[in-house]
Amino acid sequence: MRIVLMGAPGSGKGTQSQRLVEAHGVPQISTGDLLREAVAGAANAATATELGLRAKTAMEAGKLVDDAIVLGMIRERLSQPDAAKGFILDGFPRNLRQAEALETLLATLGRPLQAVILLNLNLGILFKRLTGRRICQDCGRVFNVYTSPAGTPPHCPKCGDHPRLLQRPDDREEVIGKRLEVFEAQTKPLIEYYQKAGLLHTVDADADVETVFQRLESVIAALEAG
C-alpha cells in the first residue's frame, strides 16, 4: 500500500494513519512528526541543529517549513527498509513543488503512488478539533478534550489514568488561523493535481473515528481489488 493521506490541519490524518498502520503493517511517514523530532533536538543547546531551529520558527508561526528541509527528510525516510513494503504519507506533500519532487523520487524507486485520499471536513469542525487536541507526553497518543466522555479525565491505554497531557504550540488559536490559510493557498491546489493524475479519492471525515476508518478501508479494499 503506497498512499498519501491529505487533509487540512485537524482533519484526522494522524489519527487515521495510526489505525491504518495497525491494520496494514506499513509505516506512517509524517513530516510533522519528523520535524517535531528535529525541533525537540534543537531545544537542547548541545544538539541544536540549524535545521531544527529553522523548522521551529516556521512551525510556531503556522507556516510551511522550507521544501529543501522537508524533501531531504522524506528522501532519507523512504530509503529505509520498512518503507519498501509500502507507506502512508501523512502531511506530505503539502505544495506543488513537493508533489512533483515526490513523483520523481518514487519513479526512481520504482514504487509509484497508488492513491491520494483526501479527508474532507468543514473549517468550523477543524478549529474545535485542534483547540481540543491534547497529546500524552509519555506515549504520544492523541486525545481531544471535547470528545472525551464528559466529566471523566482521559484514560491512556498505555499510560493509565491521568496521563500527562500536552497541547502542541501550533494548536493555539492565533496559529491555527494561519495554518488553515496555508492549507487553502498552498495545499488545496494539490486536489486538482491529483485529480488530473487519476489518483484522488475523497472521504467524508465528518464522522466518528471508527466510521471514517471504515470509509478509508473501503477505498483501500477497492484499490487492492485492482
Q: Which parts of this chain interact with ligand AP5 (CB under 6 A)? A: 7, 9-15, 31-32, 35, 58-59, 62-65, 70, 91-92, 94, 98, 129-130, 132-133, 142-144, 147, 170, 179, 207-209, 212
Q: Which of 7, 18, 3 is nearest to 135 (CA)?
A: 18
Of the residues 19, 77, 134, 179, which is catalytic?
A: 179
Query: Can 77 be counted among the known catalytic residues?
Result: no
Using the minimum distance from each CB to ligand AP5, give the nearer residue, 7 or 220: 7
- Residue 17 CB, shortest distance to ligand AP5, in Å, is 7
Q: Which helix (H) or strand (E) holds 149?
A: none
- Residue 174 CB, shortest distance to ligand AP5, in Å, is 13
User: What would the grid cell of residue 161 be?
Assistant: 489514568
Written as one letter, the residue type at 204 is D
- Residue 85 CB, shortest distance to ligand AP5, in Å, is 22
Query: Can 196 be counted among the known catalytic residues?
Result: no
Using the minimum distance from each CB to ligand AP5, give the nearer residue, 115 or 180: 180
Q: What are the φ/ψ torsions at residue 87 (nearest 5 degrees)?
A: -165, 160
Whether the CB-CB separation of 99 and 218 falls below 8 Å is answered with no
Using the minimum distance from each CB to ligand AP5, give the nearer residue, 118 or 225: 118
Whether the CB-CB separation of 109 and 74 falls below 8 Å is answered with no
Query: Can 94 be counted among the known catalytic residues?
Result: yes
Q: Which helix (H) or strand (E) holds 138?
A: none
Query: Can 215 be counted among the known catalytic residues?
Result: no
Distant-in-sequence, close-in-space partners of 13: CB < 8 Å, separation ≥ 6? 5, 6, 7, 30, 90, 91, 119
Of the residues 19, 56, 77, 94, which is catalytic?
A: 94
Residue 225 to residue 216: CA distance in whole angstroms: 14
Using the minimum distance from each CB to ligand AP5, give the nearer residue, 26 or 91: 91
Residues forming the active site? 13, 94, 133, 168, 179
